[in-house]
């Protein structure tokens, strides 16, 4: 007789966000397979309390100790045994804890780097949504995966699609497996077809209203500038050992094809589905098996048509800036990412025009020195230096 299989213990970093919430939705559909070890959030303590009531994690983490004390008191009142911690060390601890099997890396931005790397170093199954972590630390991140034997599964829908379109073991470069190109699809964002002049007037609420996906504010702005696609191009190079010129961005407004792999025999393999992040999340959780994700089946008659066009890099220069950063190598992608994070925050706060985002990223790129990304310290220094330069540029204007 076979015993019950052990349930996988999951830590969700960034549990209260768009990806975190979708992850908990999938987990709740499979209580026999998964249990929640830890949930983390930055400021959203009310949302984290609600999640703790439902998912009963062993540990919950907030950024500030004052918020943690508040949550501790509410959980005690409710008679729940969840331990509450605060700060970056606590994030790292729940990512590498020996009780944990799976870590969903769904913090937004550079703040996710240390806990995500901790999960990698500890050899976990790492579900990577936090693309900024990989963009910043590229080679170091992939070396850490190889060294620890961690299982890295991309959650970004495009990379998850490509992963599904490649041979199961695709190590050793694309050419070895007959893959000639990765076709990275892009919705084009809410401003597809707009001129540079029209783009200058864009407001944060317009930028955050994405036509096909409901996402956090930072990635929504990135999708609108096409910096998201630029970060994804860099992400694809690292994940699949591709050169920038092997990754072609294809604007596909319906977001039904999530990306494709082209082979030397002329075959193009695509992954299709409704635009719902629970599909890649369920894939990452269950791989190599498949589980129900709560996603409606794709109705091709309703989709009716699939359109494709080339991206407009003149109106959306962020894509080119990202490609150039990847080609420059070393700390250039970390500088790009940091400048973009500062620019997006300034745009969301009404301190910078939409078109100023690309301008600021380009300025910082021109000022900041690029070094070989030898170790994590070098990467973190490049990140800090680029943030400083970006803030100074904003203040000086
Ligand atoms: P979000 O803003 O909705 O959620 C972010 C989460 O991280 C929240 O739980 C928040 O509390 C936490 N957080 C924010 N700042 C933090 C900090 N400084 N320290 C610790 N925790 C912090 O973002 P999201 O849309 O869920 O995106 C998360 C990541 O997934 C991003 O890297 C994004 O690029 C990537 N991603 C998202 C989608 C999507 O559909 N939303 C798709 C692909 C990739
Ligand atoms: Mg994506």
Closest ligand 1 atom to residue 228 Cα is 34
* pLDDT value of position 321: 98
Question: Going by C-beta distance under 8 Å and a sequence separation of 6 or more, which residues neighbour residue 201?
Answer: 354
Question: In DSSP terms, which residues pair with 270 in a beta bridge?
Answer: 260
> Is residue 319 helix, strand or coil?
helix
Q: Are 84 and 60 in contact (CB under 8 A)?
A: yes
Whole-angstrom CA distances from 253 to 75, 131, 193, 256, 365 are 45, 22, 11, 8, 30
Q: Are 238 and 136 in contact (CB under 8 A)?
A: no
**Is ligand 1 within 6 A of the CB of residue 213?**
yes
Question: Going by C-beta distance under 8 Å and a sequence separation of 6 or more, which residues neighbour residue 42?
Answer: 14, 16, 62, 63, 107, 111
Note down pLDDT in tens along the chain; length 397 residues: 556 678 999 999 999 999 999 999 999 999 999 999 999 999 999 999 999 999 999 999 999 999 999 999 999 999 999 999 999 999 999 999 999 999 999 999 999 999 999 999 999 999 999 999 999 999 999 999 999 999 999 999 999 999 999 998 888 889 999 999 999 999 999 999 999 899 999 999 999 988 887 899 999 999 999 999 999 999 999 999 999 999 999 999 999 999 999 999 999 999 999 999 999 999 999 999 999 999 999 999 999 999 999 999 999 999 999 999 999 999 999 999 999 999 999 999 999 999 999 999 999 999 999 999 999 999 999 999 999 999 999 999 8
**Is ligand 1 within 6 A of the CB of residue 281?**
no
Q: For residues 125 and 100, what is the distance between their CA atoms, to the nearest angstrom?
A: 9
Q: For residues 117 and 132, what is the distance between their CA atoms, to the nearest angstrom?
A: 12
**Both structure tokens of 82:** 């969840």
Question: Is the alpha carbon torsion for 167, 176, 245, 369 positive or negative?
Answer: positive
Q: What is the CATH number of domain 329-397?
A: 1.10.1740.10
Half-sphere exposure of 332 (CA within 13 A, CB side): 15
The alpha-helical segments, DSSP class H, found in 190-275 are: 196-199, 204-207, 217-225, 227-240
**Is ligand 1 within 6 A of the CB of residue 138?**
no
- Is domain 8-155 in CATH 3.40.800.10, yes or no? no
Q: Determine the distance separating the centroid of ligand 1 and the alpha carbon of 215, expressed in angstroms.
A: 8
Question: Going by C-beta distance under 8 Å and a sequence separation of 6 or more, which residues neighbour residue 363?
Answer: 339, 389, 393
- Name the nearest CA neighbour of 247 among 316, 330, 151, 180: 180
DSSP 79-147: T---EEEESHHHHHHHHH-TT-SEEEE---SGGGHHHHHHHHHTT-EEEE--HHHHHHHHHHHHHHHHH
| Cβ-based neighbour number of residue 290 at 10 Å | 9
**Is ligand 1 within 6 A of the CB of residue 337?**
no
Domain ranges for the chain:
8-155, 156-313, 329-397
Closest ligand 1 atom to residue 218 Cα is 2
Q: Determine the distance separating the centroid of ligand 1 and the alpha carbon of 313, expressed in angstroms.
A: 26
* pLDDT value of position 5: 73
**Both structure tokens of 289:** 């098996």
Q: Determine the distance separating the centroid of ligand 1 and the alpha carbon of 108, expressed in angstroms.
A: 3
Q: Does the global pTM surpass 0.85?
A: yes
Q: For residue 9, give the H/E element and its range.
A: strand 8-13
Closest ligand 1 atom to residue 14 Cα is 9
Kindly report the three-state secondary structure assignment for every residue of 359-387. HHHHHHHHHCCCCCCCCHHHHHHHHHHHH
* Residue keyed to tokens 């930072």: 218
**Residue of 44, 108, 160 with the most ligand 1 atoms within 8 Å of its CB, for mutation:** 108
Q: Which-ligand-closest: CA of 216?
A: 1
Q: Determine the distance separating the centroid of ligand 2 and the alpha carbon of 146, expressed in angstroms.
A: 24
């Amino acid at each position: 007789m076979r015993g019950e299989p052990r349930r996988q213990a999951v830590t969700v970093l960034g549990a209260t966000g768009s990806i975190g919430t979708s992850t908990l939705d999938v987990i709740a559909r499979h209580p026999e397979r998964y249990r929640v070890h830890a949930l983390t959030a930055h400021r959203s303590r009310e949302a984290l309390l609600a999640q703790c009531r439902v998912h009963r994690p062993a540990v919950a983490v907030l950024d500030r100790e004052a918020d943690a004390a508040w949550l501790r008191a509410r959980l005690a009142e409710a008679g729940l045994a969840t331990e509450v911690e605060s700060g970056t060390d606590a994030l790292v601890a729940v990512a590498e804890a020996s009780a944990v099997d799976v870590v969903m890396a769904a913090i937004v931005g550079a703040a996710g780097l240390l806990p995500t790397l901790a999960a990698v170093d500890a050899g976990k199954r790492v579900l990577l949504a936090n693309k900024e972590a990989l963009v910043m630390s590229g080679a170091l991140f992939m070396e850490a995966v190889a060294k620890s034997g961690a299982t890295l599964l991309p959650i970004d829908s495009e990379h998850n699609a490509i992963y599904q379109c490649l041979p199961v073991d695709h190590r050793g470069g694309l050419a070895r497996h007959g893959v000639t190109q990765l076709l990275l699809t892009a919705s084009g964002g809410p401003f597809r077809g707009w001129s540079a002049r029209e783009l200058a007037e864009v407001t944060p609420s317009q930028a955050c209203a994405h036509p096909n996906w409901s996402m956090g504010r930072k990635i929504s702005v990135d999708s609108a500038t096409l910096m998201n696609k630029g970060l994804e191009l860099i992400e694809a190079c690292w994940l699949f050992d591709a050169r920038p010129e092997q990754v072609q961005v294809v604007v596909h407004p319906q977001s039904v094809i999530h990306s494709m792999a082209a082979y030397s025999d002329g075959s193009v393999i695509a992954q299709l589905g409704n635009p719902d992040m629970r599909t890649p999340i369920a894939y990452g959780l269950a791989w190599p098996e498949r589980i129900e994700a709560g996603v409606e089946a794709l109705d091709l008659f309703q989709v009716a048509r699939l359109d494709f066009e080339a991206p407009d890099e003149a109106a959306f220069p962020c894509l080119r800036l990202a490609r150039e950063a990847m080609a420059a190598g070393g700390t250039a992608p970390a500088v790009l990412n940091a400048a973009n994070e500062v620019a997006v925050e300034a745009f969301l706060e009404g301190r910078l025009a939409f078109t100023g985002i690309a301008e600021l990223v380009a300025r910082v790129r021109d000022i900041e020195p690029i070094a070989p990304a030898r170790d994590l310290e070098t990467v973190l220094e490049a990140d800090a230096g680029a943030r400083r330069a970006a803030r100074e540029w904003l203040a000086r204007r």
